[in-house]
Amino acid sequence: MKLLKTLATFASVVLVAAHSPVPIDSRNLSEIYAAAQKECGVLHVVYGGDEHNQADAISNAFLAQFPNLRVNFTVDLSKYLDGKINKALFQNKLYADVAIIQTLQDFDDWKERGLLLNYKPPSFDKLWTSLTDVDGAYIPVYGGKYLLHSSGALDSSQILRLTYYRELAHFGPFVFNSSVIPAEDIPKSYADILDSKWKGKIVLTYPNDDDAVLYLFTLIIQQYGWQWLDRLLEQDVQWVRGTASPAEVMLLNTNKTISFTTFPPRAGWGYVPPVSDRYMSWAQSSSIFKDTKLPETAKLVQAFLISEAGQSVYLQEGLPSVRKDLVSGNETIWDLSNTDYVIFHQFMENRETVEAWRFAFEDKIGTAQGLSPLIDDLFVV
């Protein structure tokens, strides 16, 4: 934990030290709203996710506070959204005005090509700087963390039972129906999932179909070696597309009882991280495209996302704030011993390495089968 805090602090110092001529917007939300109301048109926001309702909470909160604006939130897989965005950019068009996505390497590429609007909304100085572009070309929106720290045996009082997470910015904790699985059976490591008692009961997202899950699997392989995957494949795993899908499968089929690539689908479900094995986290981030015809409306979206009102939407869903001054309980996203929020971004930037890992897993597991999770018939949550 001390090492992760040191790395986070170091990254923060580097970014703070970097010179940026971009000032922080001194206006409040009401003043930006007044400017936005002078613009005409619909602002298009794309939102990375694998179920259509995953932007509902934040979009409803925004439109409730700013009813005179027309803002459309479209949810799709980040890896499809960035393709649509890049295709439009190649044609000198805009597919979206604002992008809130997981493919963090795109932000660096778009900034380098001069395609993003450098904008520091109010409260910019309250963001964790190690997750934030120094010029405001992109900002973190939400992260994910578990609220339970545990070592040794778990009893029923230590199992984290959560309300439904509509979005989650980490994968790796074990998700299960805590009314079905006894506390003493909960895995403490990814090695434990290889126990024969889990055969035929595991549902996982294809790592070769989702970069966040891919990174999680690279961490596991780096710890346990490829023999771990060989043994996992003997467990009769049900592989699915999308990170909401494992939870949906478990709701529909009570014979499927555990996953570590999804989030709790209902209140009362368990959510327990491995005791010491590393798992992945990231901060979903947002940017404005420089050529937007509605710059003030886009700025208001960015400002709202990191405002107290916007962050409260994610806090209510169990997600921590990306602001240093808004803490859930006494914990921040850095109070974690076996995950961090910086390295995934670095992993995503090295596309040659990402693709090498992807094809290595695809060779073992096979190509991802099934429809996009946004158009399949699994949605039940």
Predicted local confidence at residue 6, as pLDDT: 41
Compute the average pLDDT of residues 149-167: 38
- Whether residue 377 lies inside any domain: the answer is no
Task: Judge if 260 and 291 occupy the same domain.
Answer: no
Task: Judge if 43 and 70 occupy the same domain.
Answer: yes
- Whether residue 375 lies inside any domain: the answer is no
- Whether residue 116 lies inside any domain: the answer is yes
Confidence of residue 193 (pLDDT cuts 50, 70, 90): very high
Task: Judge if 307 and 170 occupy the same domain.
Answer: no
CATH number for the domain harbouring residue 211: 3.40.190.10
Structurally, how many domains does the chain consist of?
2
Q: What percent of the chain has pLDDT over 70?
A: 85
CB 317 within 8 A of CB 54: no
Question: Is the pLDDT score of 160 beyond 70?
Answer: no
Q: Which of 53, 32, 64, 49 is nearest to 100 (CA)?
A: 49
Alpha helix (H) residue ranges in 149-257: 211-224, 226-232, 245-252
Position with higher pLDDT, 17 vs 297: 297
d(CA 211, CA 163): 25
Task: Judge if 240 and 290 occupy the same domain.
Answer: no
Compute the average pLDDT of residues 225-250: 96
- Whether residue 151 lies inside any domain: the answer is no
d(CA 46, CA 298): 12
Confidence of residue 144 (pLDDT cuts 50, 70, 90): low
Q: Burial level of 36, CB count in 10 A (0-12/13-18/19+)? A: buried
Q: How many CB atoms within 10 Å of residue 367?
A: 9
Task: Judge if 286 and 239 occupy the same domain.
Answer: no
Give strand pairing partners of 161.
270
- Whether residue 370 lies inside any domain: the answer is no
On average, the pLDDT of the chain sits at: 87
Q: How many residues does the chain have?
A: 381
Compute the average pLDDT of residues 331-355: 88
Q: What share of the chain is helix, strand, coil (3-state, %, to 5)?
A: 40, 15, 45
Question: Is the pLDDT score of 270 beyond 60?
Answer: yes
Question: Is the pLDDT score of 118 beyond 60?
Answer: yes
Predicted local confidence at residue 8, as pLDDT: 47
CB 378 within 8 A of CB 249: yes
d(CA 20, CA 17): 9
Task: Judge if 230 and 291 occupy the same domain.
Answer: no
- Whether residue 319 lies inside any domain: the answer is yes
SS (H, E, C) 29-75: HHHHHHHHCCCCCCEEEEEECCCHHHHHHHHHHHHHHCCCCCEEEEE
* Radius of gyration (C-alpha) of the chain in whole angstroms: 21
The tokens 């997470």 sit on which residue?
A: 165
Task: Judge if 139 and 288 occupy the same domain.
Answer: yes
Confidence of residue 110 (pLDDT cuts 50, 70, 90): very high
Q: How many CB atoms within 10 Å of residue 190?
A: 23
d(CA 251, CA 80): 27
The tokens 């900034």 sit on which residue?
A: 111
Predicted local confidence at residue 18, as pLDDT: 55
Task: Judge if 40 and 60 occupy the same domain.
Answer: yes
Range scoring the smallest mean pLDDT among 86-90, 120-124, 182-186, 196-200: 182-186
Q: Which of 113, 111, 9, 50 is nearest to 342 (CA)?
A: 9
Task: Judge if 130 and 162 occupy the same domain.
Answer: no
Tell me the pLDDT tens digit for each residue of 311-322. 999 888 777 789
Confidence of residue 167 (pLDDT cuts 50, 70, 90): very low
Predicted local confidence at residue 373, as pLDDT: 73
d(CA 25, CA 36): 14
- Whether residue 327 lies inside any domain: the answer is yes
**Domain, as residue range, for 249:** 156-280+354-365
Quote the DSSP letter at residue 120.
B
Quote the DSSP letter at residue 301.
H
Tokens of 79: 């890896």
The SS3 call for residue 270 is strand
Position with higher pLDDT, 77 vs 229: 229
Task: Judge if 46 and 23 occupy the same domain.
Answer: yes
Position with higher pLDDT, 266 vs 145: 266
d(CA 275, CA 260): 13
Question: Is the pLDDT score of 147 beyond 50?
Answer: no
d(CA 293, CA 297): 9
Position with higher pLDDT, 146 vs 246: 246
Task: Judge if 52 and 103 occupy the same domain.
Answer: yes
Position with higher pLDDT, 221 vs 315: 221
Task: Judge if 286 and 179 occupy the same domain.
Answer: no
- Whether residue 347 lies inside any domain: the answer is no
Tokens of 229: 């995957």
CB 61 within 8 A of CB 313: yes
